[in-house]
Structure 1
Amino acid sequence: MHPKRISKWVLKPFVYFMGSNNIQRAWLFEPNSITERIKRNHSFELELVSEQIEELDHLDKRIVGIAKNESMVRRVKLFGDKKELVFGESIIPQETKEHGFAGLKNLGSKPLGDLIFTSKKFKRMRVLFAKFEFNNKKYWGRITVFRVNSYPMSIKEIFIID
């Protein structure tokens, strides 16, 4: 089961008014790699949950800025000291894999953040925030839209932080 979004996507200023705390905001507003943030303080592990072509819903297509109905969707769990800290979901259209950056073709269990923050080909376009529910608990998450040599992709991160 994956976390379910329970609020609208909002811009950064609204996060302060929607019941977030300082710890949650530190993760939500992290400007650098979440993978590196975890590695600084914990033993890091990535579990590849799935990586497959899926039909996208209208909102995902609109946020990422693509017209095609199907795209590669990659889901991962990031652990720190064996505790799940982040559920990640990336939308990587085929044209982005082919023309944006070749390293996106065979990620396997490599963290996507390792590519994004070491290559100048990735440009962060916008970040939106929302609340999610997972295992009867509420969490915050964000979706970041990137351009990779002008081709779109997104990374959604739900922070499983108490």
Structure 2
Amino acid sequence: MTASRHPPLRHTPLRHGWLAHAFRAPRTLRSKLSDRGSLTQRLQAQHADFKVQLLTRGITRPNRDESQALHLRPASRAYGRDVLLLGGGIARVFAHSVLPRASLRGGWNGITRLGNKPLGEALFTNPRIRRLGLSLRRLDARHPLYRAARRHAGFTARHVWARRSVFCLNGHPLLVTEVFLPAHDAL
């Protein structure tokens, strides 16, 4: 096993409005937000026509709260990927992943070639990948992920709920945020 250039990741104290429990979320979303299983598998089981729509991918600057969660300096660059998870012809989830550039080598290097394939399948089928703590947050127009989700999904809700986790492979982190779109309430 090679030494990592990243400090050991622990469950970082929650900041920037991220919560450890879904007690403030609407009852209809609480179990979905706190479920530690694969959201991809859940959507595939509920929608025979499930698909992933790639929106953006490439080198980007993480949001401030993402940099903090990944222990990156604020001006750091990372690989980012945005997708919509669709079921029943409706955008259900806006998914956003951030991978530090140093993590692009080794086990995570296939992430850049996923295209319209679901990241969730890779994360939950590889036994070497471990998931750290799950955190939740209500997003509104002040948060960049709300604005990105709204731009791509076209919803009018004043706020949406999101959950995020850091996944680790050989000491290298990947942050995944799933924004539950208003259509997701109907699941």
TM-score by length of 1: 0.86
Aligned to 1:11: 20
**Does the Cα contact within 8 Å between 2:25 and 2:161 map onto a contact in 1?**
no
Query: How many Å apart are 1:66 and its aligned residue?
Result: 2.7
Instruction: Identify which of 93, 100, 107 aligns with 1:100.
Output: 107
Q: Taking structure 1 as reference, are residues 103 and 58 closer, same or farther at Cα in structure 2, changes over 3 Å only? A: same
Instruction: Identify which of 113, 117, 126 aligns with 1:110.
Output: 117
Instruction: Identify which of 141, 144, 147 aligns with 2:165.
Output: 144
Aligned to 1:120: 127
Aligned to 1:4: none
Q: 1:93 and 1:70 mapped to 2: Cα distance?
A: 7
Question: 2:100 is aligned with what amino acid?
Answer: P
> How do 1:33-52 and structure 2 match up within 5 A?
33-42=38-47, 43-52=49-58
List alignment gaps of at least 5 residues for structure 2: 1-15, 141-149
SS at match of 1:66: coil
Aligned to 2:79: 72
Question: 1:37 is aligned with what amino acid?
Answer: R
**Structure ranking higher in strand proportion:** 1
Q: Taking structure 1 as reference, are residues 157 and 19 closer, same or farther at Cα in structure 2, changes over 3 Å only? A: closer
Query: How many Å apart are 1:102 and its aligned residue?
Result: 3.6
Question: 1:11 is aligned with what amino acid?
Answer: A
**Does the Cα contact within 8 Å between 2:36 and 2:134 map onto a contact in 1?**
no
Q: 1:93 and 1:27 mapped to 2: Cα distance?
A: 27
Q: 1:77 and 1:57 mapped to 2: Cα distance?
A: 19
Which stretch shows the higher mean deviation, 128-137 or 37-46?
128-137
Question: 1:136 is aligned with what amino acid?
Answer: T
Query: How many Å apart are 1:84 and its aligned residue?
Result: 0.8
SS at match of 1:101: helix
TM-score by length of 2: 0.75
**Structure ranking higher in helix proportion:** 2
Q: Taking structure 1 as reference, are residues 83 and 102 closer, same or farther at Cα in structure 2, changes over 3 Å only? A: same
Q: Deviations over 1:79-101 (max 9, x none)?
A: 11111110000001222221233
Query: How many Å apart are 1:136 and its aligned residue?
Result: 3.2
List alignment gaps of at least 5 residues for structure 1: 1-6
Aligned to 2:65: 59
How many residues align structurally? 152
> How do 1:128-139 and structure 2 match up within 5 A?
128-133=135-140, 134=150, 135-137=155-157, 138-139=159-160
**Share of identical aligned residues, percent?**
25
SS at match of 1:131: strand
SS at match of 2:113: coil
- Tell me how large the CA RMSD over aligned residues is: 1.7
Q: Deviations over 1:11-36 (max 9, x none)?
A: 11xx21x2421x31121122221111
